[in-house]
Structure 1
Amino acid sequence: MIGQIYPVPQHSYSYELNKDFQFAAAHRIPSETAGKCQRIHGHTYFANITVGGDTLDESGFLINFATIKKLIHDRFDHTLLNDDPLFKGKSERFPTTEVMAEVMHSIIQEHLDQQGNKAQCLQVFLRETPTSYCIFRPRRGKEL
């Protein structure tokens, strides 16, 4: 989405890749403190994934844009997030915007860790509504 402005993570990598996309999904937050969000409702999420690295793979990518779309968009688009195996049957973990940003980071980073070029997912920006968003950045040295 041209014109979208989001914070840029600090890094010293030679390359920074950003992939913007949106997906439609529903969720509910089964907590008494969630108010109206306890009921199933939907959003058109806007996401930006930032990947950094110094070395490109054999195709000349940090990560192929299509791979990011497959890993995140294809998994979550037009779903009830609560039904995803990461949440289904887990009473202590709900698909809030904050948790979804962290989950998306983990999915991307797990894929990157299997590649040989040592790219890192630096940031996940996840907008839930036109006025509400979350940014997840892992702490350096912290394993998720």
Structure 2
Amino acid sequence: MSLPNPYQSYQNNSVQTASPGELTLMLYNGCLKFIQLSKQAIQHKNIQEKNTNCLKAQKIIQELMVTLNMDASVSGTLLPMYDYLNRRLIEANIQSNVEILDEVEGFVKELRDAWKEVIQINRRLQYGQGGRV
């Protein structure tokens, strides 16, 4: 009988108790992690690992695309941006191109940071000045 992995239990609990905004933030952070792993794999000439991590980053971008609330006006701007990022990840994977991954990483960081700011503002409005991410 094996003992449960405490880190895995913590991760599962974090996802299950997160708000939709926090889940989106987790997706952005996961995408950044897989982009970094892809870049490292390219540098180490590990094609399989590069492919696996690029595909994971693509899946996250695709998830962000399909979960957009198209009734929100910002979604009309985000959908083409996500589509662009997805296409660039495909190109980076095919070409093993770190520069393209750097470009995508920059956009994802900006989106993540903006999203984090939105969460902080919403928490301050909802709970007072103490809300932090």
TM normalised by structure 1 equals 0.29
Structure of greater Rg: 2
TM normalised by structure 2 equals 0.31
Give the helix-richer structure, 1 or 2: 2
Give the strand-richer structure, 1 or 2: 1
